[in-house]
């Protein structure tokens, strides 16, 4: 099954939510693939980057975020692990990890516990270069304005809510992938 077939399965209607998901996910995929092209020395798996970027937000429909037409019951922050559960059930365990490891610059088990987040208590930070690049690329695109790429400064401001470690991680990635 192609990643777009999995989207079709969970977002069957050509409605506002599907349009948001698809335009956001393709914007993230384009940016992640552009980064991969800049770094042949990293020997990245571009097919995986494409597929996992397309699927990374598959869990959003289960959350409650009416401003982006999500009418589920879970807090929005849960969309990563909810998507992960979906892709594990679809037999895509490596794509599932991208889902659960893309919130902020990744959430550590300690951070989840300290902040009492409604998430499984496990480390959910990107590990492989492909996971890191998708998480990084995702930070440049909101879902409310998926066509508009954010500046790095805007991303830093948005990440501040996760603490300075998160902003520092973004800066580290910026150096690795775009400087």
Provide, rounded to whole angstroms, the least separation between the CB of residue 41 and Fe ion: 26
Size of the site for Fe ion (CB under 5 A): 2
| Closer Cβ to Fe ion, 116 or 161, answer by number | 161
- 65's enclosing H/E stretch is strand 64-65
CA distance 127 to 75: 25
121 Cα distance to chain centroid? 19
Provide, rounded to whole angstroms, the least separation between the CB of residue 94 and Fe ion: 17
Provide, rounded to whole angstroms, the least separation between the CB of residue 102 and Fe ion: 6
Interaction of residue 100 with Fe ion, rule CB under 5 A: no
One of 57, 90, 100, 131 touching Fe ion (CB under 5 A): 57
CA distance 99 to 152: 22
Interaction of residue 138 with Fe ion, rule CB under 5 A: yes
Provide, rounded to whole angstroms, the least separation between the CB of residue 40 and Fe ion: 25
Q: Nearest residue to Fe ion, using CB?
A: 138
Nearest to 151 by CA among 160, 161, 141, 166: 141
CA distance 155 to 87: 27
Chain positions contacting Fe ion, by CB under 5 A: 57, 138
């Amino acid at each position: 099954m192609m990643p777009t077939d999995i989207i079709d399965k969970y977002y069957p209607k050509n409605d506002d939510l599907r349009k948001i998901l698809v335009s956001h996910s393709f914007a993230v995929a384009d940016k992640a693939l552009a980064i991969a092209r800049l770094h042949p020395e990293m020997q990245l798996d571009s097919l995986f980057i494409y597929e996992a970027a397309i699927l990374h937000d598959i869990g959003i429909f289960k959350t409650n975020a009416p401003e982006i037409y999500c009418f589920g019951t879970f807090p929005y922050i849960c969309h990563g692990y909810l998507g992960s559960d979906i892709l594990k059930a679809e037999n895509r365990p490596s794509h599932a990890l991208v889902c659960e490891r893309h919130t902020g610059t990744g959430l550590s088990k300690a951070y989840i516990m300290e902040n009492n987040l409604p998430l499984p208590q496990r480390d959910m930070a990107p590990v492989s270069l492909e996971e890191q690049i998708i998480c990084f690329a995702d930070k440049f695109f909101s879902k409310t304005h998926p066509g508009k790429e954010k500046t790095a400064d805007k991303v830093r401001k948005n990440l501040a809510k996760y603490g300075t470690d998160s902003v520092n991680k973004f800066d580290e990635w910026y150096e690795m992938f775009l400087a």
